[in-house]
Amino acid sequence: MAVLYKGTQTSLGRPVAIKVMKGALADTPQAHQMFEWESRIVARLDHPHIIRVIDRGLTADEMPYFVMDYVEGLTLREALKQRKLSDRRKLRIIMQVAKALGYAHKNNVIHRDIKPGNILLDREGNARVVDFGIARLSEDTEMSMVGEENMTVGTPAYMAPEQKQGAALTTSASDIYSLGVIMYLMLANKLPKAGYPPPSHFNPKIPGSLDKITMACLAPEPERRPSADKLVALLLQALKGAHLKQEEKAQAQESFKDPKEKFRLLDVIRETPFGDVCLYENRQDRSLMVLKKRIGNFKGYEEAEILSRIKHRNIINVRGVSRNDRIFITILEYLSGGSLQNRMAQPMAPDSFLLVADQICDAMIFAHNNRIIHGNLRPHNILFDDTNTVKVMDFGFAPHYESSVEENWYKAPGEPALAQADVFAAGVIFYQLLTGALPEWKRGLLQPCEAFSAVPQHLRTLIKGMLCLETAVRIQSFEEVKQDLHLAEPEIDEATRTRIKPPSPARRRRSPLRSVAMTLALVLLVGFNGALYFWLFQNQSADLHLLERLLPAATSSQDRLSRPDSPAAEPRAPVEQELALRRVSNPKEK
């Protein structure tokens, strides 16, 4: 479909890979669409184990191209042919591809062609998933379903059973099946076939736990296969750190002294110049915990110590804190759902956004009520557990951006760490979630992007109030933010509105005797008024005092018949009642 070139990005002087569609496909609309689709999908993804798109465009002869990071190394297919991969390196590759798929699936992207030829290995042995040419967004029905009913995509040896029946039946579970085939191939040195035994039949060194995981990925029924996140968790507990490099283990042991060996290192989640994050398993009860180390900076210690004693469902459980003259260690619960940053490759729908925003507000209200300021709120430190419950972490931690060339988008310039600064940071996150872009300001005023206009009006008003650069004008508390999140009722499209008609207000049944009495009273009233006006017409010199005394009585009788609590009055419609109540309870609403 394309030709791949090695080039140089002249502005930075670094090597890049340039993918150009073949000229023979110039008159094939499907090829143009697929090529365009690949560059759009990969450009949305930002993960260390997925190849990154840098730029895209058209050549002089109108052929599309896009530019990617250049990886010096070889494909997994070539590495398996050379038979030079150690067992540890194989396990490391499996873990990294599983993490890459977990990230892609969280953003509704299905690869649909996971195979050794689409996994690049750099010189350090790290894996990068490439070639999203036939990938699709699982929720984008317009692009994914057109022309797929009678089409099969993928590489037959690695395709799931449902994928062979048609591209439209492909799901994220199909990617897991393909990875299961790769796992079987790497562990048993054979491609699996129907009726084949587990990999340990061909390689006795393979533990039984890894056997079970591989065969679960190869289950014929998609619903029996683990999700990518579940697969990562199963692999971590089965491998028990066997995929880690020796230097990673040594560095972790230096940070966390465990002379009685109560805990086992399972994974190194992140390494930075400021510290690292590692996953451990308690050998006794097999519970998991995360150990976060900070070097030479003790900001956040007091906040972590307080949060180790008080709990909230939307704040990560701090199990303990410790420090010495050089490092500060926080022990946290393990959350398998990843971070909010991993779910931001495309904008969120308003209903999904509200679920996340509500829980962020609850966490921040609890923290501020306990005099805890976050000071560095951003998508990286908002996590999810396996039930998709939001968990905020890193309260009080120092931002890395103060000494970095990277701009801190989540903090107003020169503003100290106060509650209003946390509101501003949340406003940036909310803007990102709904638009897929970072906010921009010009002369102190927010310059909304095009996607912002599609956001519901009450949310636009709220976010603008959160993003005021002047602290005094900005929304002051998360209580107010949470209240304003739900000012407007959910919008209902016309098709739904015609199907769901509000019930007509129920009329009160009147007894026959009561109806007769009301009719008689009305006849007497009309007759009395008629006689009165006839008499006045006949005798214009009538006493005006008598008229003034009689007219109020007649008026009050008519008023009684027209009151809302009168049997003859129409009951107020529920929608009118609700609007009246909202006008009283929301005096600011216009």
Whether 481 is in a domain gets the answer yes
Whether 251 is in a domain gets the answer no
The pLDDT score that the predictor gives to residue 124 is 84
| 82 φ/ψ angles, rounded to the nearest 5 degrees | -75, -15
Total domains present in the chain: 4
The pLDDT score that the predictor gives to residue 55 is 83
Would you report the helix, strand and coil content of the chain in percent, each value rounded to 5? 45, 15, 40
* Locus of tokens 């299905």: 110
Q: Indicate whether 9 and 94 sit together in one domain.
A: no
Q: Indicate whether 540 and 466 sit together in one domain.
A: no
| 587 φ/ψ angles, rounded to the nearest 5 degrees | -60, -20
Whether 181 is in a domain gets the answer yes
Q: Which of 500, 532, 551 is the endpoint of a domain?
A: 500
Q: Indicate whether 6 and 93 sit together in one domain.
A: no
* Locus of tokens 């040896």: 157
Q: What is the CATH number of the domain that holds 174?
A: 1.10.510.10
Q: Indicate whether 229 and 112 sit together in one domain.
A: yes
Q: Which of 500, 527, 560 is the endpoint of a domain?
A: 500
Both tokens of 326, joined, read: 């050089």
CB 478 within 8 A of CB 435: no
Q: Indicate whether 54 and 33 sit together in one domain.
A: yes
Q: How far apart are CA 515 and CA 289, in angstroms?
A: 75
* Contacts made by residues 149-154, CB under 8 angstroms, sequence distance 24+: 153/112, 153/113, 154/112, 154/113, 154/178
CB 89 within 8 A of CB 124: no
C-alpha to C-alpha distances, 93 to 34, 100, 205, nearest whole angstrom: 28, 11, 18
Question: pLDDT tens, position by position, for the chain (590 residues)?
Answer: 778 899 999 888 889 999 887 776 666 776 667 667 666 777 778 889 998 888 888 888 878 888 888 988 899 999 999 988 988 899 999 999 999 999 999 888 888 889 999 999 998 889 999 887 665 555 443 334 334 444 445 578 898 998 888 777 788 999 999 999 999 999 999 999 888 899 999 999 888 899 999 999 999 999 999 999 999 999 998 988 888 888 888 888 777 777 678 889 999 888 877 788 999 998 888 889 999 988 888 899 999 999 999 999 999 999 999 888 888 899 999 998 889 998 888 899 999 999 999 999 999 999 999 999 999 999 999 999 989 999 999 999 987 644 444 557 888 888 888 999 999 999 999 999 999 999 998 888 889 999 999 999 999 999 999 999 999 999 999 999 999 998 865 554 444 444 334 444 444 444 455 555 666 666 666 666 666 555 555 554 444 443 344 344 444 444 443 444 444 444 444 444 443 444 444 444 43
Whether 544 is in a domain gets the answer yes
Q: How far apart are CA 42 and CA 517, in angstroms?
A: 79
Q: Indicate whether 140 and 180 sit together in one domain.
A: yes
* Of residues 422, 356, 342, the one with CA closest to residue 389: 356
C-alpha to C-alpha distances, 488 to 43, 498, 590, nearest whole angstrom: 34, 20, 12
Q: Which of 27, 87, 113, 565 is catalytic?
A: 113
Whether 489 is in a domain gets the answer yes
Q: How far apart are CA 391 and CA 369, in angstroms?
A: 17
CB 398 within 8 A of CB 390: no
Q: Indicate whether 18 and 141 sit together in one domain.
A: no
The pLDDT score that the predictor gives to residue 529 is 62
The pLDDT score that the predictor gives to residue 523 is 60
β-bridge mates for residue 319, sequence order: none
Whether 254 is in a domain gets the answer no
Pairing of strands 382-384, 109-110: unpaired
CB contact set of 295 (below 8 Å; sequence gap of 6+) = 274, 275, 326, 327
Q: How far apart are CA 115 and CA 2, in angstroms?
A: 18
* Of residues 90, 94, 89, 12, the one with CA closest to residue 55: 12
Whether 309 is in a domain gets the answer no
Q: Indicate whether 42 and 146 sit together in one domain.
A: no
Q: Indicate whether 105 and 125 sit together in one domain.
A: yes
Q: What is the CATH number of the domain that holds 23?
A: 3.30.200.20
Could you list the residue range(s) of the whole structural domain that residue 10 is in? Answer: 2-69
* Locus of tokens 């030829």: 117
Q: Indicate whether 222 and 119 sit together in one domain.
A: yes
The pLDDT score that the predictor gives to residue 404 is 46
> Where would I find the H helices in 10-120?
29-44, 76-82, 87-106
Q: How far apart are CA 293 and CA 221, in angstroms?
A: 42
The pLDDT score that the predictor gives to residue 143 is 38
Q: How far apart are CA 449 and CA 467, in angstroms?
A: 14
The pLDDT score that the predictor gives to residue 166 is 76
Q: Indicate whether 61 and 140 sit together in one domain.
A: no
Q: How far apart are CA 287 and CA 268, in angstroms?
A: 17
Q: Which of 183, 218, 239 is the endpoint of a domain?
A: 239
CB 419 within 8 A of CB 373: yes
Whether 319 is in a domain gets the answer no
Q: Indicate whether 115 and 212 sit together in one domain.
A: yes
CB contact set of 221 (below 8 Å; sequence gap of 6+) = none
CB 160 within 8 A of CB 95: no
Stated length of the chain = 590
| Residue 113 a catalytic site member | yes
> Where would I find the H helices in 189-220?
208-217
